[in-house]
Structure 1
Amino acid sequence: MRQTLEKILEKNQICVIDGSMGTALERLGANLNNSLWTARVLLEQPELVKKVHLDYFRAGADAGITCSYQATIPGLMANGLAEKEAEELIVRSVKVFQEARDEWWEKEGKAAGRVYPMCLAGIGPYGAYLADGSEYKGHYEISEEALREFHERRAELLWQAGADVLLFETQPSLTEAKIEAGIAERIGADYWISFSCKDGLHINEGDLIRDCAKAFREGASHLRALGVNCTKPEYLESLIKELRKETELPIAVYPNSGETYDPVTKTWNGKGDGHSFKDYARMYMEAGARAVGGCCTTVSEHIVAVAEARAKFLEASE
């Protein structure tokens, strides 16, 4: 039986999602300045990926994202892997998560009365494969059929490996999100769609976020949540409210901590606006988000803060 968001919400009312894989790996000494980004660490040092998952479970995460965002078949093959090796690495992202989850569950989680964590299979947009920051712009020149071919096999592999949910994340394009949804519907996989946004109203390609929600009102029987990630935290309250105008699905948000991405150096620069991540997390819950976590530049301390915000939010709701 796969874990579901519904089961987590029944027990905890709010689901805590984990934080950044990339920043956490850098903390452990990994070098991510290459086109494969975190997938290089999955290939060469999977034990570090496992440690990141364990740290997030201990921090309070009810759901975690696999190290598969940048693990694409063409990207891996361009870096010297055979097609079969590329497919095996994509499957490994789920297996490493499962190993970490089961180890933590048996040693700590079950006895502590925690929920069994949900495995979200991270699937980045085509722009992530380009490794030039295109997930923050969209408008890449590629046919819809080519996009379908790009995403299809990876989605199949991640679902067959036992992921609980296919997480199509950091999506700058409604067109691409629709294609991904079609793939998930065809293979019968539960999925979430999470957009990257340029302000409090629009996704990065320019569509209104509420129109994106409206687009999935029909023909999306396996869609389990809509949301926003890798977006400035100050935009999230507005985006949550806009989504709620057009969907009754749970809303999941996991912003970055406010910096700007440099695709040349593959680093994040600048400072946030001074609000604590805990304050923001509480704000998102009050706005109607049912799942909250962190994206780029967030680490386990941020997830501890989200769990603390949930406790305060639920206490105030009683």
Structure 2
Amino acid sequence: MPRASGPLAEALARRTVLLDGGLSNQLAAQGCDLSGGLWTGRVLAERPDQVEAAHTAYARAGAEVLITASYQIGPGHPRAADLLHRSVALAARAAEAADHEVWVAASVGPYGAVLADGSEYRGRYGLSVRELAAFHRPRVEALLAAGPDVLALETVPDPDEAQALLTVLGETDAPAWLSYTVAEGRTRSGAPLAEAFALAAAYPQVIAVGVNCCDPVEVLPALEAAAATTRTPLLAYPNDGSVWEAATATWRTPGTRPGWPTAAWRRTGARLIGGCCRIGPDRIAALAAGAR
């Protein structure tokens, strides 16, 4: 079956669409080396077959959207354009081989992801909105040239970076979703969620807003804040509740696993639901089974 032929926004108007899970954990499970600053980008550069295999694993689990391995590829990389194009092509190949319709979402990670020091979980890099827009613009242009179905403006830690990404998006006619990473009821930089989600209202290209790479317990309050400020479909793809320790490049796992009240998320308006770091194909398959 070819990859999804209709716009993702049209599907969201009718039903919930299932996202994939964490790319890094699936690549690690496949035996890939993710050490170094490029993280999944290292595998994209060195073992593209493994990236395609990871996408395929999620498609077989029932994922209807595959997020590309472009999260940490910054414009300063000497092969940036080639790798960004490759990331979309690999996801598209996996989508085309699936037995159901699958969309490809091109990941546009935050500036902090390229720094590889955990600062995407802090934000406030000391750069202006204009400087952040200048950083993101060539990445967005290269990804769009590869023909994804949607841009995933994801793991955004603060409204300044969201505004920069939206400014670049506004120069195109591409559809995109905007997803913040949050903690304690605010963005990671400490900004109010209502302020953060309200930014998207001025950009008709935004087809969904929500949260990702956060503790599942943070999801429902964040979705409620988003629902109060926008009529746009919502999205949620949290991690397993673990905390990233940048100094040791390891995850600190919670003593208990938080629940995933996906029915409550849907009632609040979530139409894109999946997982982020440390959520694998088994959890996506369970979500797919529950949606049937």
Indicate yes or no: 2:233 matched with 1:250.
yes
C-alpha distance after superposition, 1:233-270 (max 9, x if no partner): 01111111111001000101100001110112222122
Determine the C-alpha separation between the residues in 1 that align with 2:128 and 2:13.
41
Determine the C-alpha separation between the residues in 2 that align with 1:9 and 1:180.
22
Determine the C-alpha separation between the residues in 1 that align with 2:157 and 2:231.
22
Instruction: Kindly provide the amino acid, as one letter, of the partner of residue 146 in structure 2.
Output: A
Instruction: Kindly provide the amino acid, as one letter, of the partner of residue 310 in structure 1.
Output: A
Match of 2:87 in 1: 93
Bigger proportion of residues as helix: 1
C-alpha distance after superposition, 1:87-138 (max 9, x if no partner): 111110001111111122xxxx1xxxx3x21111111100111111111111
Match of 2:197 in 1: 213
- Matched residue SS, 1:56: helix
Match of 1:223 in 2: 206
Match of 2:34 in 1: 32
CA contact (8 A) 1:72 1:90 kept: no
Determine the C-alpha separation between the residues in 2 that align with 1:101 and 1:288.
26
Indicate yes or no: 2:264 matched with 1:283.
yes
Determine the C-alpha separation between the residues in 2 that align with 1:3 and 1:162.
14
TM-score, structure 2 normalization: 0.94
Indicate yes or no: 2:55 matched with 1:53.
yes
Deviation of residue 10 (structure 1)?
Answer: 5.5
Deviation of residue 295 (structure 1)?
Answer: 0.3
CA contact (8 A) 2:112 2:118 kept: yes
Match of 1:271 in 2: 254
Structure 1 segment 189-208 matched on structure 2, within 5 A: 189-199=174-184, 201-208=185-192
- Matched residue SS, 2:178: strand
- Bigger mean CA offset, 259-268 vs 222-231: 259-268
Determine the C-alpha separation between the residues in 1 that align with 2:36 and 2:23.
15
C-alpha distance after superposition, 1:1-57 (max 9, x if no partner): 96422333356x111000000000000111212100000000000000001111111
Indicate yes or no: 2:291 matched with 1:307.
no
Unaligned runs of 5+ in 2: none
Determine the C-alpha separation between the residues in 1 that align with 2:221 and 2:200.
20
Change over 3 Å in CA distance of 1:194–1:10 after alignment to 2: closer
CA contact (8 A) 1:54 1:101 kept: yes
Determine the C-alpha separation between the residues in 1 that align with 2:195 and 2:133.
22
Q: Stretches of 4+ moved more than 3 A in 1?
A: 272-276
CA contact (8 A) 2:241 2:258 kept: no
Match of 1:43 in 2: 45
Deviation of residue 157 (structure 1)?
Answer: 0.9
C-alpha distance after superposition, 1:181-238 (max 9, x if no partner): 1111102211111000012x211111111221222222x0211110100000011111
Match of 1:315 in 2: none
Across the aligned residues of Structure 1 and Structure 2, the Cα RMSD in angstroms comes to 1.6
Unaligned runs of 5+ in 1: 77-81, 312-318
